[in-house]
Structure 1
């Protein structure tokens, strides 16, 4: 019984600090750097189309399944090696599936000196919910109904 109380005390003591990193918002993306899917769609279409660069930080297989047209694919782990040709003053909108990897990518781009970096809040899932344009490059055209004769 004596050891049980000690064991419970240690779990509470150690476990209490473990979650504090999660709730600490100092590492979070600032709210003004988050864009809803609705706003991101408006900023990347029409006459604004060339003012923002969409960057997909998901894995290659995810990008091949579905992506936002015109987006540049740079997996999270490869950002530092693939930014040489991107102007640091270019306005960037980062996205992944739901927002976790794009939050990490945001911090990487900012540390590398990029000034205007935004995160698509909710990722490509939110983009799809807002009915934003999509490409499905790995799906054969006959499945999409193109070139299929009836």
Structure 2
């Protein structure tokens, strides 16, 4: 688990809300506080669909929600706060865990997350993992931290470790 501050909040928010940079992540939850408090539960409403479409069916993708979230943030005033939890897709989780020789990450429902928090003009991210194998948790957590930092760097998102 690592915590870091995003340098260039405006640029990050543009990439989050207007570009496809984070579209492959799943959304666990999203909360924005501005003139009212809006909460989006990322758990997919299965009754809405005729059939399950893919293995990541439990959560909506950020791509599906991005425009709605952006519409809540648009305006002349910046939000008072934003909190969001994103999860790596099962496919990408399996790839990362596979680098350590873990072949059953999908079956064991390993989760690789990052929590996003905007408060008082500052934006921070904290990484985390949900792993049933205690001995693997640290290894997988460290690898996930490296992966996310590399992902952000590849998208020209500067961070400062906290």
Q: Same fold (TM over 0.5)?
A: no
**Highest relative contact order (Cα 8 Å, sep 6+), 1 or 2?**
2
Taking structure 1 as the reference length, the TM-score comes to: 0.27
Tell me which protein shows more strand as a share of its residues: 2
Taking structure 2 as the reference length, the TM-score comes to: 0.25
